[in-house]
Amino acid sequence: MHTPLCFRSEIHVPGLGNSVKQDLKTLKATVDERNLTDMWDMMLMLDYNVANADDLSPETREEFYGIISLLLKAFKE
């Protein structure tokens, strides 16, 4: 009998998803402040096909967090 493979996306770390969710809220405030809201919306729609970051799965939420972190650095005044 085969043992099922354990993919990274199947590993659940209690509380981690909520933490990233909270971090994204903080990041969104910075995005709005820096006038990058249209870039945030564009990335959500084009790469994840959702209108709201709350609709992202925990795994894609982390990935999106990474993109937005880089976005803020890339458009640093």
Partner 1 sequence: MPTKNETVFTELGTRAIEKGLADPQLTAFYDSMMSSSGLVSDKIREHMPYLSLCSDKLIKNYPPPIFYVGRRSSQRVLFGEDWAMQQDQELKTPDPDLEEASTAAYRAALSGGPYYGYARASIDIGGKIVDIAFERLIIALRPSPKSERRFCAYFGVIQDLQQQ
> To the nearest whole angstrom, how small is the minimum distance from the Cβ of residue 19 to partner 1?
16
Nearest to 49 by CA among 35, 68, 76, 57: 57
How many residues touch partner 1 (CB under 8 A)?
19
The two tokens of residue 61 are 């939420």
Cα 11 from Cα 6, distance rounded (Å): 7
Q: Binding to partner 1 by residue 38, rule CB under 8 A?
A: yes
Q: Binding to partner 1 by residue 4, rule CB under 8 A?
A: no
Q: Binding to partner 1 by residue 66, rule CB under 8 A?
A: yes
Q: Which residue's structure tokens are 């990058």? A: 36
The two tokens of residue 31 are 């995005």
Return residues touching partner 1 (CB under 8 A).
Answer: 35-36, 38-39, 41-43, 46-47, 49, 66-67, 69-71, 73-76
